Chains A and B, each alone.
Chain A
Amino acid sequence: MKRVLIADDASFMRQMIRDIIEPEGFEVVGEASDGVEVVDKFRKLHPDVVMMDIVMPKRSGIDAVKAIRADAPAARIVMCSALGQEALVTEAIQAGARDFIVKPFKPEAVLTTLRKVVEKAD
Chain B
Amino acid sequence: MDLAKYRALFLEEATEHLAEMSRACLALEKDPANGEALDLVFRLAHSIKGMAASLEYESITRLAHHLEDRMAAFRAQGAVDVPEGMALLFRGLEALERMLGALREHGACPPADEGLLEALAADRGSGKKA
Contact = CB atoms under 8 A, between A and B. Distances in A.
B54 A9 contact: no
Interface in A79-122: 82-84, 103-105
Nearest to B51: A12
A29 interface: no
Given A84-B65, A104-B56, A13 B51 contact: yes
A82 B46 CA distance: 9
Interface in B45-82: 46-47, 49-51, 53-56, 65, 69
Interface in B1-42: 1-2, 6, 9-10, 13, 40
A10 B47 contact: yes
A1 to B, nearest CB: 23
Contacts of A78: none
Interface residues of B, number: 19
B40 to A, nearest CB: 8
Interface residues of A, number: 17
Nearest to A85: B46
A36 B65 CA distance: 26
- Interface residues of B, dominant DSSP: helix
Contacts of A55: 43, 46-47
Nearest to B10: A12
Nearest to B54: A104
A16 B49 contact: no
Given A9-B43, A55-B43, A57-B43, A82 B9 contact: no
30 contacts: A9-B43, A9-B47, A10-B13, A10-B47, A10-B50, A11-B9, A11-B13, A12-B6, A12-B10, A12-B13, A12-B54, A13-B50, A13-B51, A13-B54, A15-B6, A15-B9, A16-B6, A16-B54, A19-B1, A19-B2, A55-B43, A57-B40, A82-B46, A82-B49, A82-B50, A83-B53, A103-B50, A103-B53, A104-B50, A104-B53
Interface of A: 9-13, 15-16, 19, 55-57, 82-84, 103-105
Given A13-B54, A15-B6, A84-B69, 11 more contacts: A10-B13, A11-B9, A11-B13, A19-B2, A55-B43, A82-B46, A103-B50, A103-B54, A104-B50, A104-B53, A104-B54
